[in-house]
Amino acid sequence: MITRPRIRRPSAGLVWLAWRQHRAAHWTALALAALAGALALWLHHQMVTAVGEWAATCPQGLDYSDSATVCGRTPDAVKTVMETAHTPLRYLPVAVGALLGAPLFAQSLQDGTHRLAWTQSVGRGQWVTAKLCVTGAVTALAALLITAPVTWWWYSIRHGRSASGPLGTAWKDSTSQSDWSYLPYTGPAGMTHLILALAVGAAVGLLLRRVLPAVAVSAGVVLALQTGLESLRPHLLTSALARTSTRAFPERPANSWYLSDGYTHVDGTLTANSPCPMGVWEKLLRCEAAQHINGRYSRYFVPHQFATLQWLESAICLTASALLVALCLVHVRRMKAR
């Protein structure tokens, strides 16, 4: 009986080649993500333990009058999660775009190894697709390893702030009211931001065909996109508007995202800045009466809008990623194999 030799399909061979060419970067990314995820889990334990001990020691909450005692300062573990951790999380997409995305095509184009792949029985589109799929899967897995424990941070803070008694007081006093700063680092948004960064780096590398320029440009473009998404975020949903007929600003629900506040007029119009200078109370009252100011207002997002806003931003990131992938597929077919 004659057996035929097993022939590897071109698609399977391309996937293997895409992994092999960038295996050092892939393994490094996964190892660093696993390490960061383990660190995030440890920080979560430290934060929850610190808040619990703080609640037992300081049942009345934060004591601003005596910063020398434990009750007069926020636990260090909470500061690490709420303040220090935000910087590496913010620049994580920049690192993915510059170090994973930019060399994806630029390295092969710069070294000339793409010519060998293009002369085989597979097309340029398959070459692009295989590289993007393999590195995209690695990026998604790395993003999950980091995003899952950071999402647990947010979940613990959100629910801790809603608790009653000394524990709830401890969470409110030790964590920021605006835990919405975690939005781009948690859930689907945490993963799609990194996918978008990879697509940006890959497209830039394919266009520039040189590694170092692609790394620099990708970092700048990803950082600009992150800044643009931050500016766009407050406008993706209709915010809640609360008014008062007094000179006190309205109270916001717990765990809401404060956007802005200002002054209301008799005719219903809103003014962000007071036309009356701060000074003597009687003069301020006369000025507000002359300007027909009769109250205050606040704009904010309520807690249940967090998930909706996160899915909207994720959809934007995925749409932009799909457009960049399409750009890569169209551009590679028009390139000369030089």
Domain ranges of the chain: 12-231+311-334, 257-301
Share of the chain above pLDDT 90, in %: 45
Cβ-contact 194, 138 below 8 angstroms = no
Average pLDDT of 96-123?
Answer: 81
Q: What is the pTM of this model?
A: 0.86
User: How far apart, in whole angstroms, are the C-alpha atoms of residue 200 and residue 206?
Assistant: 10
Q: Which of 120-124, 140-144, 304-308 has the lowest mean pLDDT?
A: 120-124
Contact by Cβ (8 Å): 43, 162: no
> So what's the pLDDT on residue 117?
66
Closest C-alpha to 178, from 245, 114, 248, 256 = 256
Taken in order 317, 320, 322, 324, the sign of the CA dihedral is negative
Token digits for 28? 């490094």
Tell me which of 9-13, 71-75, 133-137, 168-172 is least confident.
Answer: 9-13
Sign of the torsion formed by the C-alpha atoms of 122, 125, 127 and 130 = negative
Residue 44 CB-half CA count within 13 A: 19
Report the interhelical angle of 211-232 vs 102-111 (nearest 10°): 160
Any idea what DSSP says for residue 296? E
For residue 331, the number of C-alpha atoms closer than 13 Å in the C-beta half-sphere is 16
For the cut 50, the answer to whether the pLDDT of residue 93 exceeds it is yes
Q: Per residue in 132-168, pLDDT tens?
A: 999 999 999 999 999 999 999 999 988 888 888 888 8
Whole-number Å distance between alpha carbons of 235 and 117: 45
Average pLDDT of span 72-96: 88
- What is the average pLDDT value for the chain, to the nearest integer? 85
Q: Is residue 38's pLDDT more than 70?
A: yes
Bridge partner residues of 243 (DSSP): 297
Structure-token pair, residue 95 = 């690192």
Cα-to-chain-centroid distance, residue 4? 52
* 178 pLDDT above the threshold of 80: no
Q: What is the pLDDT of residues 239-295, one digit of tens each?
A: 999 888 877 888 888 788 888 888 888 888 888 777 777 777 777 778 878 878 888
Contact between 64 and 102 (Cβ < 8 Å): no
Residue from 134, 174, 183 nearest 310 by CA: 183
Q: Could you tell me the two tokens for 295? A: 């109250």
What gap in Å lies between CA 164 and CA 158, rounded to an integer? 13
- Mean pLDDT check: name the lowest of 43-47, 124-128, 328-332: 124-128
pLDDT of residue 118: 66
In terms of pLDDT, which residue wins out, 317 or 247? 317
Task: Give residue 75's pLDDT.
Answer: 85
8-12, 107-111, 116-120 — most confident range: 107-111
pLDDT given at position 313 = 95
Q: Are 335 and 211 in contact (CB under 8 A)?
A: no
Helix axes 187-208, 305-334, angle to 10 degrees: 20
Q: Is 187 left (phi over 0), alpha (psi -120 to 50) or beta?
A: left
Specify the higher pLDDT residue, 114 or 103: 103
Return the pLDDT at 120: 66
107-128 average pLDDT score: 76
H/E element, 301? strand 293-301
Residue 8 pLDDT class (50, 70, 90 cuts): very low
Tokens standing for residue 123: 């097309």
Is the distance from CB of 147 to CB of 190 less than 8 angstroms? yes
